Amino acid sequence: MFKPAIAVFILSSFSFATAAVAEDAVSTFEPFAHEVPLQPTAAGSFTVTGTLGGVEGEFLLDTGASMITVSSEFFDEMEARQALEPSRRVAARLASGRVEAVDIYRIEALQLGENCQVGPVEVAVMPRGGRNLLGMSVLMQAAPFAVSASPPALALSRCGIEPSVANR
C-alpha cells in the first residue's frame, strides 16, 4: 500500500519507478549499498554535504542539472589546495534560460557524506556566484539511486566505482 508521506523515488539510467517504504523497515534503502543523509531546505529541496577537491561544502540535489556546478568562491578554495586547469569550455543553459560559456574541470575526488567515494568527476565553474549543485552526471555514475523525503536520505548503489568511459 502506498504511503505518500514516505514514498521513495528510484531513478536509474533506464527507468523511473516509485516504491513505497514500510513504516517498520529497519533501513529505508535495504537494496542500496550506501545511504547519505540529506538536509531539507526551507524551499522544500535537499542539500547533501560533499567534499570536492579537498573542500567540504553543501550541494543542492538538482536532478535538473546535468552535472556538478560550483560557485567561483568554492572553486577558489579548491584551487588554493591544488593547481587546476580547465579540460574544456562549454556553453551551458542556465535555469534562467540564458546560455553562458563555462569552464569544465576534472576533479579526481568527490565524497558524498562520510563514506561514499564517487571518484573523478567533471565540474562546471559558475563565474557569478550561485549555489553548488549536485547534478545528474554524479547521480548516474552512482545509479541506481533513490531519494527519500522522510527520512531525508540519498541512497546510492555504486560508491567507489570508476565512471564509465562515456562519462569521461
Report pTM. Answer: 0.76
Measured CA to CA, the distance from residue 29 to residue 53 in angstroms comes to: 28
Measured CA to CA, the distance from residue 67 to residue 134 in angstroms comes to: 7
8-state DSSP, 33: S
Instruction: Give the tens place of pLDDT for each residue, 139-161.
Output: 999 989 999 999 999 999 988 75
Residue in the structure block whose three cell numbers are 537494496? 31
Ranges in the chain, pLDDT < 50: 1-26, 162-168
Domain annotation for the chain: domains and CATH numbers: 4-167 (2.40.70.10)
pLDDT at 47: 97
